Chains A and B, each alone.
Chain A
Amino acid sequence: MSNSSSRERNLHRQLANMKHSLFDQGYLDEQFIQLEELQDEENPNFVEEVVSLYYWDSVRLIQNIEQALEQNPIDFAKLDNHMHQFKGSSCSIGAKKLKKECTQFEKYCKTGNGEGCKRTFQQVKKEYATLKKKLERYFQFARQVGCVEKACRPK
């Protein structure tokens, strides 16, 4: 029994360290914590659900931006609108680094700098993909911790 408790504690510590690392490295901000606070018995996987919804929905937002960047000439008002939507969604899951790149993109957009937008969008996509991988790993580990907890619970 004590081995199980000790194993549980270790797993929880590892999970906590993974999360702290995401915050320390600037990938996530306070909004992620707000989402965690909404997780309860009624919505036990709320954070993972919202993040999955974000990655599912943002595919079309990214496509919209890519298509807008391919236009010649670029309609910067349309482009700004598409990025505003994408940035808003990204902020709602607490994606801090991604938000920063989106803000940079918006600055180039406002000054009609197409090359700047294209360059920054490469960074946006890179951060988007990196965060996705990190969160997938985090949630996968969180599920493992959850399984161990259930297995260790007295019958």
Chain B
Amino acid sequence: MTSKSILNLGQKFSVLIVDDDKIIRRIHKVLLNKFGCQSHAVENGKEAVDLYVSGKHFDLILMDKEMPVMDGPKATQELRAMGVNNMIVGVTSRGLDSEKQAFTEAGLDYCVQKPLTSETITSLLQELAKKY
């Protein structure tokens, strides 16, 4: 496991986990906590959009693709249309490139396989650190 000290971030990143699967929400919360991130979790895309409408902001959004009420691609489109420019990473268990491509075109920075691993988180946080 890569520790946050190796990443040498010097900053607590805030992460919004958007996923209808409570097991994934739990795993990703604990994983991100290990990396010194502060995370908040919601169950669907609409809750994510509502948070931003209410004035909340996060350094990184981990956006699941398939969710009830509002799915990942729709939520991503809406957030980008609102002017949200933080990193949004699509998280999906669908393996087909065409499906990932469609999701990415909604406005993602990256699209990764779930569940996330510590290696994936390390790469993402390193990319995020470059922005600051």
Chain A positions near chain B (C-beta within 8 angstroms): 31, 34-35, 37-38, 42-43, 46, 49-50, 53-54, 57, 81, 84-85, 87-89, 91-93
One of B39-47, B51-59, B76-84, B113-121 at the interface:
B113-121
Which residue on chain A has the smallest CB distance to residue B67? A85
Task: Specify which chain A residues have a CB less than 8 angstroms from the CB of B118 in the assembled complex.
Answer: 34, 37
| CA of A38 to CA of B27, assembled, Å | 8
Interface assignment of B23: CB less than 8 Å from any CB of chain A: yes
The reply to whether A53 and B21 form a contact with Cβ atoms under 8 Å apart is: no
Select B23's contact among A53, A81, A84, beta carbons within 8 Å: A53
| CA of A87 to CA of B115, assembled, Å | 12
Q: Given A34-B115, A34-B117, A87-B93 in contact, is the A92-B23 Cβ separation under 8 Å?
A: yes
| CA of A38 to CA of B116, assembled, Å | 12
Interface assignment of B69: CB less than 8 Å from any CB of chain A: no
Q: Among A37, A38, A42, A49, find the residue whose CB has the most chain B CB atoms closer than 10 A.
A: A38
The reply to whether B66 and A54 form a contact with Cβ atoms under 8 Å apart is: no
Task: Specify which chain A residues have a CB less than 8 angstroms from the CB of B114 in the assembled complex.
Answer: 88, 91-92
| CA of A57 to CA of B26, assembled, Å | 13
Interface assignment of B6: CB less than 8 Å from any CB of chain A: no
Interface assignment of B12: CB less than 8 Å from any CB of chain A: no
Select B22's contact among A46, A57, A84, A93, beta carbons within 8 Å: A57
Expressed in whole angstroms, the minimum distance between the Cβ of A34 and any Cβ of chain B is 6
Task: Specify which chain A residues have a CB less than 8 angstroms from the CB of B27 in the assembled complex.
Answer: 35, 38, 50, 92
Interface assignment of B124: CB less than 8 Å from any CB of chain A: no
Which residue on chain A has the smallest CB distance to residue B117? A34
Task: Specify which chain B residues have a CB less than 8 angstroms from the CB of A84 in the assembled complex.
Answer: 66, 93-94
Interface assignment of B31: CB less than 8 Å from any CB of chain A: yes
Which residue on chain A has the smallest CB distance to residue B92? A88
Expressed in whole angstroms, the minimum distance between the Cβ of A102 and any Cβ of chain B is 10
